[in-house]
Structure 1
Amino acid sequence: MTTIFTRIVRGEIPAQKLMEDDRYLAFLDVRPVTPGHALVIPKKEHDYIFTLDDETLAGLLPFAKRVVPALERVTGCLRVGVMVAGLEVPHTHVHLIPMNAVSDLNFARAHPASSEELAAMGDKIRAALAAG
Structure 2
Amino acid sequence: MSTIFTRIIRGEIPAQKLLEDERYLAFLDTRPVAAGHTLVIPKQEHDYIFTLDDETLAGLLPFAKRVVPALEQVTGCLRVGVMVAGLEVPHTHVHLIPMQAISDLNFARARQATSEELADMGERIRAALSKS
Structure 1 residue 37: Cα displacement: 0.1
Q: Deviations over 1:93-113 (max 9, x none)?
A: 000000000010000000000
Structure 2 CA distance for aligned equivalents of residues 88 and 73 of structure 1: 28
1:115 and 2:115 equivalent?
Answer: yes
Q: CA deviation at 1:123?
A: 0.2
The whole-number CA distance in structure 2 between the counterparts of 1:44 and 1:103 is 32
Residue of structure 1 equivalent to 2:24: 24
Question: TM-score normalized by structure 1?
Answer: 1.00
Shift of 1:122: 0.1
Amino acid at match of 1:92: T
Q: Which residue of 2 aligns with 1:67?
A: 67
Q: List alignment gaps of at least 5 residues for structure 2.
A: none
Aligned counterparts, 1:1-132, within 5 A = 1-132=1-132
The Cα of 1:125 is off from its aligned counterpart by 0.1
Give 1:74's aligned amino acid.
Answer: V
CA distance in 2, matches of 1:53, 1:101: 33
**Amino acid across the alignment from 1:121:** M
User: SS of the residue aligned with 1:30?
Assistant: coil
User: Which runs of 5 or more structure 1 residues have no equivalent in the other structure?
Assistant: none
Amino acid at match of 2:62: P
Residues 13-56 of structure 1: per-residue CA shift (max 9 Å, x gap)? 00000000000000000000000000000001000000000000
CA distance in 2, matches of 1:71, 1:126: 10
- Which of structure 1's runs of 4+ aligned residues deviate more than 2 A? none
The alpha-carbon deviation at position 4 of structure 1 amounts to: 0.1
What's the Cα RMSD here?
Answer: 0.2
Count of aligned positions: 132
The whole-number CA distance in structure 2 between the counterparts of 1:12 and 1:44 is 16
CA distance, structure 1, for counterparts of residue 32 and residue 127 of structure 2: 20
Cα distance in 2 for partners of 1:24, 1:96 equals: 14
